[in-house]
Amino acid sequence: MSILEIDKKNIWHPFTQMKTSPAPINIVSGKGAKIFDENGNEYIDAISSWWVNIHGHCNETIQKAILKQIQKLEHVIFAGFTHENAALLSEKLISILPENQNKIFFSDNGSTAVEVALKMTIQYWKNQNIQRNGFIAFEDSYHGDTLGAMSVGSRSVFTDAFSGYMFESYHAPLPSEENIDSVMTQLENIIQEKKPAGFIFEPIVLGAGGMRMYEPKFLDMIIELCRKNDIIIIADEVMTGFGRLGKTFASDYLTNKPDIICLSKGITGGFLPMGVTSCAKYIYDIFYSDDITKTFFHGHSYTANPISCAAANASIDLLLSEKCQNNIEQIMNLHNEFIQILKNNDKIKNIRQKGTILAFDINTSDNEGYTNQIKNILYDYYIKNGVLLRPLGNVIYILPPYCITKDELNRVYEIINLSLKII
């Protein structure tokens, strides 16, 4: 049986209607910004494979770090034991995260990093016998697919089936120059009425919600309001972390720093799953007690896996290198030039860029957003032309690995330009 036949027989793919979706492409290898299929076709991975491969595919530095670790220790239970790579990684993270971040809690992916942040916040109040209720979040936000993470995300076709099983959260519109006063008033009312436990947000760019961007100054205003009301501030940097928006973290654009930060995706350079939830000391201190009931009872089997930690240490070193920082700068400059070309195209609107992300919307008479069917036509066109781009409904975005070359990025722009001629 071929790989595709075995796949069809056995496998249930994520976010995929198995009845109507075409067969997947069998990828056999990757190098840099490219992946290669079983028939010898190559594709420029312009979305860093679900936003994880910040250094591209098969990066040799990360490969070597993994190989070295595999020969020493593959895994060890992380309660009652620790190891060198976890310690090194915690030091590294604390040195690059906003100054108030003081403790590192490991988990396995973006959703678990968010679950941990939510549970930490809930128990932070419970440990002090203070009644707080639910979370503030933004409309169109996405925080993952586990039940807690879905509960704080916006409601959509993704969450409909589970509506009776999610807890309440209070969604405010994304702030802009036009609505900031009304958003602040709405939030003040929610805070007065509900006394929320925390405020969770994707800082500056809402990823899965359509690469929607908003100004750090408005987020700073909202954080200030929440802080005045003792609401715990949670930045979900699962997508925005590790250089994606130009600075190491999106929180680096903020004056008011979060209490808790969720990380995943780029942390290991896309080699291995890992989630991290960092927090300020004053959060941790509320759990630090002789009373066993104040313990944070949460953990996962692969918590702080030594191989994942080794990959993360190598990936962060690469990110901080001059070469990588120059690459990020180059992507931002090239995006800027492409925007000047896109501006003349009347088939599109809302052209936007933050750091290495460039996005725009296709004008459409159908419903905007994820269910817009133009994504299927465009996705097929991009694949046929050797570019991996995965539109979010009528939103086209580029989120490349930092190692992408100028020629590769120009090819992505060329194919996008051509695609706009077929619609």
Ligand X SMILES: Cc1ncc(COP(=O)(O)O)c(C=O)c1O
Contact set with ligand X (CB under 6 A): 109-111, 114, 142-144, 202, 207-208, 236, 238-239, 264
Looking up tokens 């991290």 gives 276
Considering the complex, what minimum distance in angstroms separates the CB of residue 149 from ligand X? 6
Of 135 and 338, CB closest to ligand X: 135
CA-wise closest residue to 245 among 202, 200, 274:
202
Considering the complex, what minimum distance in angstroms separates the CB of residue 251 from ligand X? 13
Of 142 and 397, CB closest to ligand X: 142
Of 49 and 127, CB closest to ligand X: 49
- The tokens describing 58, both together, are 């098969």
Of 53 and 419, CB closest to ligand X: 53
* Residues 398/410, Cβ–Cβ less than 8 Å: no
In whole angstroms, give the CA distance from residue 88 to residue 149. Answer: 29
DSSP H or E segment with residue 118: helix 110-126
Helical spans, DSSP H, in 153-201: 180-194
Burial (CB count within 10 angstroms: exposed 0-12, middle 13-18, buried 19+), residue 297: exposed
Considering the complex, what minimum distance in angstroms separates the CB of residue 241 from ligand X? 9
In whole angstroms, give the CA distance from residue 115 to residue 126. Answer: 16
CA-wise closest residue to 267 among 322, 329, 309, 235:
309
Task: State the Cα angle at 54 between 52 and 59, rounded to 5°.
Answer: 105
Of 110 and 148, CB closest to ligand X: 110
Task: State the Cα angle at 409 between 403 and 413, rounded to 5°.
Answer: 160
* Residues 231/257, Cβ–Cβ less than 8 Å: no
* Residues 269/55, Cβ–Cβ less than 8 Å: yes
* Residue with the CB atom nearest ligand X in the bound state: 110
Of 69 and 111, CB closest to ligand X: 111
Of 140 and 259, CB closest to ligand X: 140
Considering the complex, what minimum distance in angstroms separates the CB of residue 68 from ligand X? 26
Of 30 and 207, CB closest to ligand X: 207
Across 149-162, b (16+ Cβ under 10 Å) vs e yields: bbbbbbeeeebeee
Considering the complex, what minimum distance in angstroms separates the CB of residue 262 from ligand X? 7
Considering the complex, what minimum distance in angstroms separates the CB of residue 5 from ligand X? 28
Residue 347: alpha-carbon gap to chain centroid: 28
In whole angstroms, give the CA distance from residue 144 to residue 166. Answer: 13
Taking CA atoms, 301 is separated from 75, 104, 128, 393, in Å, by 10, 17, 29, 36
Considering the complex, what minimum distance in angstroms separates the CB of residue 272 from ligand X? 12
CA-wise closest residue to 140 among 212, 245, 190, 216:
212
Of 249 and 413, CB closest to ligand X: 249
Considering the complex, what minimum distance in angstroms separates the CB of residue 143 from ligand X? 5
Considering the complex, what minimum distance in angstroms separates the CB of residue 337 from ligand X? 27
Backbone phi, psi, residue 140, to 5°: 70, 10
Of 207 and 355, CB closest to ligand X: 207
Considering the complex, what minimum distance in angstroms separates the CB of residue 47 from ligand X? 11
